[in-house]
Structure 1
């Protein structure tokens, strides 16, 4: 099972140690909650961060935003996926998978207008990474982004079995028939049916009752790659995959081999030592900055 206790302990520690962030704004864009952490200097890069399954941007991502905002000219934007956190929509549901990907376009357009000269990068943690893979490979984006970062990405049930830890206690329980009927009907049936249960411990739900415990078929389809190997190979922009060494869900070495074996020349991967599936977001600020520097170097060469 995912180590929520360790995550909560580290979250409390970082929250007490990090200085209070300045220049933070929060508002809704087309029903989507966004928090923008601006640096004191001129913004050269914008990092748009999407959370993992069932949680929202309050689940430790503010720590990452604090860490990044103190590194100079990088602005961090935390987004609540529709149907999560303070974004609008029924919890865990969406009208159709495309709506989630359209929402990414909406956020990118807003950020591009607000910071017209900045480079814009997308970051997804866990299922947020799966959603961004779908955005680039099952959807035609209308907005430009400069790179992609995937942290402890969730590739879903269609990924090779070898990447999953054998002793893993599943975080999600799935009812298959709604997905089968939805696929056979080309999306017409069962899209609103709750078919995935996220197994948060009771003590977590007592502390965070806003977490989403059930996903509809449409929401799950929006976040889950169907052909992860082909989709990773097809990602059309620079990608860095950051893998948690002690991930409770995935074998880090096997996951790294799988990602590198997809053969995408735009992609590199790194294993983040000693980190787990959730708390790895506290350990990646240096690697994120290295990724941004590589993107700058790549653009200067081109």
Structure 2
């Protein structure tokens, strides 16, 4: 099971010791909540962050945003996926998977209009990473983005079984038959049916009552890669995939080997030492900086 207790302790400790952001603003765009952390320097790079399954931008991502925006000229934007956090929509449900991917276009359009001329980098943590893989490979984006970071990405049940760690209580419990009916009817049936339970401990839900503990078939399909190996191969922009060395869900070494075997020349991977599935977001700021500066260097060459 994911170590929520250590994560909450780390989050509280860092929250009290980190400097506050220079400027934080929040807004709603087409029902989507966005929180922007602006650095003191001129903004040349924007990092748009998508949270993991069942969570929202208040689940420790504030720490990541403050770390990255404090380091230099990177502006960080946190957003809540529709049906999560402060974004609108029924909790854990959407009308169809494409709605979530279109929302990424909506947020990107707003960010680009707000910071014209800045390079925009997408970061997806856990299921947020799975969602962004789908965005680029199962949908045709209408907005430009400059690169992608996958942080402890959730590749879902269609990834090789050997990369997933065996646990007594999996984080997600799945009812299979609604997905089968949905696939057989090409999305006509069962899309609105709750079919995934996210097994947050009761003490976590007490601390974070805004967490979503059930997903409909449509929501799960929006966040879960259907053919992860083929989709990783097809990603059309520079990608850095980062894996937590002590991830409770995946074996970092085997997962990195799986990603490398996909053969995408745009994609590089690395392992974040001494980190877990959630806590890796607190120790990844240097890797993010290197990724962003690398893209900037190529753009200016």
**Range of TM-score over shorter length:** over 0.9
- Contact 2:21–2:39, Cα closer than 8 Å, also in 1: no
Residue matched to 2:66? 66
TM-superposed deviation, 1:103 = 0.2
Residue matched to 1:114? 114
- Report the number of matched residues: 301
- Moved segments of 4+, more than 3 Å: none
Residue matched to 1:210? 210
Residue matched to 2:236? 236
- Contact 1:168–1:249, Cα closer than 8 Å, also in 2: no
Residue matched to 1:89? 89
1:39-50 alignment, distance < 5 Å: 39-50=39-50
Residue matched to 1:278? 278
Deviation per residue, 1:87-129 (Å, 9 max, x gap): 0000000110000000000000001101111000000000000
CA distance in 2: counterparts of 1:274 and 1:291, whole angstroms:
20
Unaligned runs of 5+ in 1: none
SS of the residue corresponding to residue 166 of structure 2 reads coil
CA distance in 2: counterparts of 1:2 and 1:73, whole angstroms:
33
Unaligned runs of 5+ in 2: none
- Contact 2:83–2:89, Cα closer than 8 Å, also in 1: yes
Residue matched to 1:200? 200
CA distance in 2: counterparts of 1:72 and 1:273, whole angstroms:
23
CA distance in 2: counterparts of 1:122 and 1:25, whole angstroms:
19
SS of the residue corresponding to residue 206 of structure 1 reads helix
Residue matched to 1:102? 102
CA distance in 1: counterparts of 2:38 and 2:19, whole angstroms:
14
CA distance in 2: counterparts of 1:66 and 1:116, whole angstroms:
22
SS of the residue corresponding to residue 158 of structure 1 reads coil
Deviation per residue, 1:234-272 (Å, 9 max, x gap): 000000011000000000110010011100000110100
SS of the residue corresponding to residue 14 of structure 2 reads helix
TM-superposed deviation, 1:21 = 1.7
SS of the residue corresponding to residue 70 of structure 1 reads helix
Deviation per residue, 1:267-292 (Å, 9 max, x gap): 11010000000010000000000001
CA distance in 2: counterparts of 1:43 and 1:27, whole angstroms:
19
TM-superposed deviation, 1:168 = 5.7
CA distance in 2: counterparts of 1:272 and 1:170, whole angstroms:
23
TM-superposed deviation, 1:167 = 3.7
TM-superposed deviation, 1:22 = 2.4
TM-superposed deviation, 1:169 = 3.0
Residue matched to 2:34? 34
Residue matched to 1:52? 52
Residue matched to 1:300? 300
Give yes or no for the alignment of 1:225 onto 2:228.
no
Give yes or no for the alignment of 1:188 onto 2:160.
no
1:133-212 alignment, distance < 5 Å: 133-167=133-167, 169-212=169-212
- Contact 1:168–1:248, Cα closer than 8 Å, also in 2: no
Give the TM-score normalised by the residue count of structure 1: 0.99
TM-superposed deviation, 1:300 = 3.1
CA distance in 1: counterparts of 2:110 and 2:62, whole angstroms:
20
SS of the residue corresponding to residue 240 of structure 1 reads strand
> What do you get for the CA RMSD once the two structures are aligned?
0.7
Residue matched to 1:259? 259
